[in-house]
């Protein structure tokens, strides 16, 4: 039996369907990423799991108990918000201990938990500072510490790294994943950044327009997309999905799998984008389909230069042009 179960959850706001028949089984200690574009329903689902928003229909089960109508305080779930949500007038240690005081935890236990969690997130030397005296990365560590010190077995995170710069995001991704593993937390993590989801999660729930598009490991979503939406959303850069001349199916090929050669499909270079370790070409085919090609290091191409491209059949996917669902996978894991 799963530890955390979402059973046919729907959420309706008047005429707008925010969530449509969402079901998910989460195992204890699993890291699940809720991924998707803005407005797909991922934050609404997180609020329903936390008890901050009631579902229109469906059930939420934790360890075999129905908690759909249970208050947030009684669900034993901690939450980390996008905005840190720290009290500006309280020190780091006072922010971390605030929830424990509200629950009337004894001072001796509060102090013991505080000492352990400060060491865990490397904030011992910062414990007397106010949030205004900390960097964004340290504020995020305070928010993490406040969640961890509660000792709740389930933690929900709502885009916790979106306010940090790229370097800090990369560092915090590693820290959050290591913290989750070491504590055995069951973690539900909302993000619109597929790099975060791919690098951190055990499984990804990809949402769009309130519906699950695909559920699986990062490797499954990358190598075996079940529809064109998943193919276009997962990967950096995303998979090319285009129509070949005189064919009706949609073809999917990742930019890194397209090769420039002396024969094959003819195209013209539209744009060159240098990334340091690679060069990304935007190419127009004869039927005006546009594809991206990733080549190693810096390579010079002129605008409107004619090139020929091909790829291995093992790197090709076919999607139905009508509903954009998968027809065949050539790729196997």
Q: Mind listing the pLDDT tens digit for each residue in 113-127?
A: 999 999 988 899 999
pLDDT at 333 over 60: no
With pLDDT > 70 as the criterion, what percentage of the chain qualifies?
98
User: Which residues have CB under 8 Å from 44's CB, separation 6+?
Assistant: 11, 18, 19, 53
CA-to-CA distance for 227 and 256, rounded, in angstroms? 20
Structural domain boundaries in the chain: 4-223, 237-329
Task: Output the six-digit token pair for 30.
Answer: 């699993």
Q: Tell me what the pLDDT averaged over the chain comes to.
A: 92
The pLDDT of residue 78 is 94
Q: pLDDT by residue (tens digit) across 23-60?
A: 999 999 999 999 999 999 999 999 999 999 999 999 99
- According to the model, what pLDDT value does residue 329 have? 66
pLDDT band at 84 (very low <50, low <70, confident <90, very high): confident
Residue 330 has pLDDT above 80, yes or no: no
In this predicted structure, the answer to whether residue 332 has a pLDDT above a threshold of 60 is: no
The token pair that represents 152 in the structure block: 């709740």
Q: Give CA angle at 315 (314, 317), nearest 5°.
A: 100
Fold of 4-223: Rossmann fold (3.40.50)
Give the model confidence (pLDDT) of 232-270 as tens digits: 999 989 999 999 878 889 999 999 999 999 999 999 999
User: Bigger pLDDT: 184 or 331?
Assistant: 184
**pLDDT, position 248:** 86
Q: Say if CB 199 and CB 191 are below 8 A apart.
A: no
What SS3 string covers the chain? CCCEEEEEEEEEECCEEEEEEEEEEECCCCEEEEECCCCCCHHHHHHHHHCCCCCCEEEEEECCEECCCCCHHHCCEEEECCCCCCCCCCCHHHHHHHHHHHCCCCHHHHHHHHHHHHHHCCCHHHCCCCHHHCCHHHHHHHHHHHHHHCCCCEEEEECCCCCCCHHHHHHHHHHHHHHHHHHCCEEEEEECCHHHHHHHCCEEEEEECCEEEEEECHHHHHHCCCEHHHHHHCCCCCCEEEECCCCCCEEEECHHHCEEECCCEEEEEEEEEECCCEEEEEEEECCCCEEEEEEECCCCCCCCCEEEEECCHHHCEEECCCCCEEEEECCCC
| Mean pLDDT to the nearest integer, 105-114 | 93
> What is the pLDDT averaged over residues 74-81?
92
Residue 202 pLDDT: 98
pLDDT for res 165: 84
Mean pLDDT within 75-87: 89
pLDDT at 164: 83
CA distance 120 to 179: 8
Q: What does the pLDDT read at residue 305?
A: 95
Under CATH, to which class is 237-329 assigned?
Answer: mainly beta
Residue 219, pLDDT > 80, answer: yes
């Amino acid at each position: 039996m799963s530890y955390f179960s979402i059973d046919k959850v729907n959420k309706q706001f008047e005429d707008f369907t925010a969530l449509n028949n969402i079901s998910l089984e989460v195992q204890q200690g699993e890291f699940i990423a809720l991924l998707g574009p803005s407005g797909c329903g991922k934050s609404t689902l997180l609020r329903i799991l936390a008890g901050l928003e009631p579902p229109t229909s469906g059930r939420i089960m934790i360890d075999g108990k129905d908690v759909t109508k249970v208050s947030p305080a009684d669900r034993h779930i901690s939450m980390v918000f996008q905005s840190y949500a720290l009290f500006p007038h309280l020190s780091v240690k006072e922010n971390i201990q605030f929830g424990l005081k509200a629950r009337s935890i004894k001072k001796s236990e509060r102090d013991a938990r505080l000492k352990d969690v400060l060491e865990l997130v490397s904030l011992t030397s910062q414990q007397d500072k106010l949030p205004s005296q900390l960097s964004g990365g340290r504020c995020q560590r305070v928010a993490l510490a406040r969640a961890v010190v509660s000792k709740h077995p389930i933690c929900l995170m709502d885009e916790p790294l979106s306010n940090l710069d790229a370097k800090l995001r990369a560092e915090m991704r590693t820290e959050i994943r290591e913290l989750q593993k070491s504590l055995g937390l069951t973690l539900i993590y909302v993000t619109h950044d597929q790099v975060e989801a791919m690098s951190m999660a055990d499984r990804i729930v990809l949402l769009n327009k309130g519906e699950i598009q695909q559920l699986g490991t990062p490797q499954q979503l990358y190598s075996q997309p079940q529809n064109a939406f998943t193919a276009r959303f997962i990967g950096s850069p995303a998979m090319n999905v285009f129509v070949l001349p005189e064919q009706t199916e949609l073809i999917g090929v990742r930019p890194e799998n397209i090769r420039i050669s002396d024969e094959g499909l003819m195209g013209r270079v539209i744009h060159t984008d240098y990334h340091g370790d690679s060069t990304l070409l935007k190419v127009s085919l004869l039927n005006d389909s546009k594809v991206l090609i990733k080549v190693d290091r810096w390579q010079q191409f002129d605008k409107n230069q004619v090139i020929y491209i091909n790829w291995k059949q093992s790197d090709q996917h076919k999607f139905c042009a009508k509903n954009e669902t998968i027809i065949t996978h050539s790729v196997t894991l």
